[in-house]
Structures are given as C-alpha cells and as structure tokens.
Amino acid sequence: MKLLTGALFALLAGLGARDAQAQPRTFPLQGTWILVAADKRLPNGEITRDYGEQPKGTLMVDATGQYSLQIFRSDRQRFGSDSKADASADEFRAAVMGSSTHYGALAIDEQAGELVFSIDGASFPNWEGTTQRRKYTQDGAELRYTVPPRADGSVPISVWRRVD
C-alpha cells in the first residue's frame, strides 16, 4: 500500500511540476499604448495632422490579443447642452469625425508585416464584423501602422508608444 501511495504521490507531483513549468504564451503587443501621432500622408507625399495637433488615444492589448482602441481629436468642441439627446447635427458630426474607436481581436501576420484587426464593435458601425489589415513596424516601445488609403487618396498613419 505504501508503494502504491508513494507512486501516486510521485505521479501527482510530476504532473504538478510539468504544469508549473508551462508558461502561458503572451501576445507580443500586450500592454497599454498611448497615441503619439494620428497623421495622414496626402497623395502628394505631404504629412499632415489627421486628428489635430495633439490627438489623444489609448490602445490596450491583453495576453491573448484582445484589444480596445480609441483615438480622439484633443480640440473637439463640447456640446452646447449636457444632454447628448439635445445636441445639434453639427455637434454630432464633429464628435463622430473627431473620434475613431473599435475593439476585438488583434493578430500579427509576420510574413506580410501586417496587423490584423478582427473588429467586433466600432464607433463606425460599418466596421463591425470586418477584418482590417494594417502594414506596421515596431521599434522597441514604438508601434507605427498605416491604414489603407481613403477615397481621397490619403493614408492614415498611427504612432503609439508602449507605457507598460
């Protein structure tokens, strides 16, 4: 009986040690990122600001690649009323055009050099349920990606800095 108990104990200890050594794989971009720039490259090659001189934003990515991203113009005008329901059409337009938010799952296609955003929810409803690819580079704590060209030919460029 002691032999059986000892063998069972050794087996359980071995399984426990194996499980303790297995480290969960973390997503390479895991962490909190702060927006440094939200620019756009015009068809003539000129770089201009897309969300004002000092845009605000946060990108949070967890260990599995789930993400939440927000970009805002820092100079957005406040609504005239404290109630969104009482806002004017111009106030709504400025609020929508001065922000970009979405969340979902993020993957990296290393071979293509692209981030792959599988968007579950977005401030622009047409993006919900879509997959979008962005060419990217990462240099240490800086992440930079470009969005496919818009209808006017401009190419949005987002630059993020990791803060944790």
CATH number at residue 132: 2.40.128.280
- Label residues 69-100 b or e (16+ Cβ within 10 Å = b): bbbbbeebeeeeeeeeeeeeeebeebbeebbb
| Distance from the Cα of residue 111 to its chain's centroid | 20
pLDDT of 101-149, one tens digit each? 999 999 999 999 999 999 999 999 999 999 999 999 999 999 999 999 9
**pTM, two decimal places:** 0.82
- Total domains present in the chain: 1
Q: Judge whether 2 lies within some domain.
A: no
Mean pLDDT of 36-53: 97
Q: Judge whether 131 lies within some domain.
A: yes
Domain extent at residue 134: 25-162
